[in-house]
Structure 1
């Protein structure tokens, strides 16, 4: 991978751990990395650092990354935007591309996939739709991911998460005791 020293990337995600891990991995690959946790901070950082690339999460707490795409493009014309999501669908991929994103990847992703998508190398499709899984994830997998997200928003408070999910506390505890469904079968 050929990364220039002027390749600045702005990472926008509300998950601090993900920001830290991806930021370190991209920095190790030669990118100059800056992070933001919400739309307001992202627009300010974009104006300050003038990034060449932006990696944006679809869900930023109560905000949508989709609504942020046109504002980022207006703040920094010519920036290459990569949208990441744990909730991949063709509809959101198409909407992201319509709003100005250059690529779309479904989480989990590794830093090499992100770097390839940013640099536009083979394997990272320009329309982004080819990066979606062949089939939608199983419903149980989506349920597991949703429960995990709500639990994280409740800072691990099972009673509060159960209330928000409309579940009995014991039902939520049983669901949490199970392992998540694999996204793709072993071959």
Structure 2
């Protein structure tokens, strides 16, 4: 198996925090195959508890969890184990949240869907090492959609306020928000 060729080091502990149970199970299994000793949590509370009791060498934390923000788990990890390598995952890839994640101490930031190899590469990348450019960069339509989503979230999901800030008709915005994201 080529996937087990990664040099994890002595401490192979990995904390996975995500509220999508199916994704969490698949990722845990894939990371165990790559040599990690995995612990999982489905919430901010669970992630913070594990981070406090047994701070891992590595962590993959979803940004949006049902009970709060995954960055709360990252803060605990940074307090308890400053050398922990943390990758923040999210289905809502936005520059503002990426900057916040890195400022708080995340090693990297990946948009879902990210596969196990991308996650391992992010966890094990050297300090200051730049990731390779994406194989398939986002289309202009996708970048526009991401921007609209970011502004929508910053306006606390208020359609009228978002439309005003984007200088767009409210109904046009509602149609855009009702559609799936472009590729």
The TM-score range, normalised by the shorter chain, is 0.5 to 0.7
Q: Distance in 2 between matches of 1:36 and 1:4?
A: 23
1:148 aligned partner: none
Gaps of at least 5 residues in structure 2 are 1-5, 150-177
Q: Give ranges in structure 1 of 5+ residues lacking alignment.
A: 144-174
Q: How does 1:1-187 map to 2 (within 5 A)?
A: 1-4=6-9, 6-120=11-125, 125=130, 134=138, 136-137=142-143, 139=145, 180=180, 182-183=182-183
List per-residue Cα deviations over 1:123-181 (Å, max 9, x = no partner): x737xxx77x54544639x88xxxxxxxxxxxxxxxxxxxxxxxxxxxxxxx7xx9x55
Q: 1:65 offset after TM fit, Å?
A: 1.3
1:125 and 1:39 map into 2 onto residues whose CA distance is 29
Which runs of structure 1 show a deviation greater than 4 angstroms over 4 or more consecutive aligned residues?
Answer: 133-138
Q: For residue 114 of structure 2, give the secondary structure of its aligned residue in structure 1.
A: coil
Q: Please tell me the root mean square deviation across aligned C-alpha atoms, in Å.
A: 3.2
TM-score by length of 1: 0.66
Q: Which residue does 2:171 correspond to in 1?
A: none
The number of equivalent residue pairs is 147
